[in-house]
Amino acid sequence: MRALIQRVSEARVKVDGETLGEIDQGLLILICAMQGDTEANADKLAAKIAKLRIFQDEAGKMNRSLLDIGGAALVVSQFTLAADTSRGNRPGFSTAAPPAEGERLYEYFAGQMAAQGVPVAKGRFGADMKVGLINDGPITIWMEV
């Protein structure tokens, strides 16, 4: 699985003008299931993200996790993280998991984040979503398991 995480002071996702998910301080997690990914990949990624120390402590150092600060996660499916731009000018997405499997793993990943003790808000798989955020830092990290 691939994830692009952004430390945010707030984030929201809308579909057709309706807000589906919204958080204050925490992480916006753009997530993509790749071909061959399993629940084990989602488990590992969720555990890693929940414990990733990228929030400031009292000394101003990135030393606290999402769990430590009591933050939330906004989990948004993003198949374009599978983009292959090695040939031509049009990205290919053939390495992304098929849609049904991608949706299953997206939902599973969101559930695993919640199982870690993180409040989770979500977008809608496959929808044309509008994502708004205030990137805090800015801190943006690419992760792959």
**Which residue numbers are catalytic?**
78-80
Kindly provide the residue ranges of all beta strands, DSSP E only, lying in the chain, ordered along the sequence: 2-15, 18-23, 26-32, 55-56, 62-64, 72-77, 120-122, 129-144
Q: What is the DSSP letter of 84?
A: B
Would strands 129-144 and 2-15 be described as parallel, antiparallel, or unpaired? antiparallel
Cα separation, 145 vs 133, whole angstroms: 25
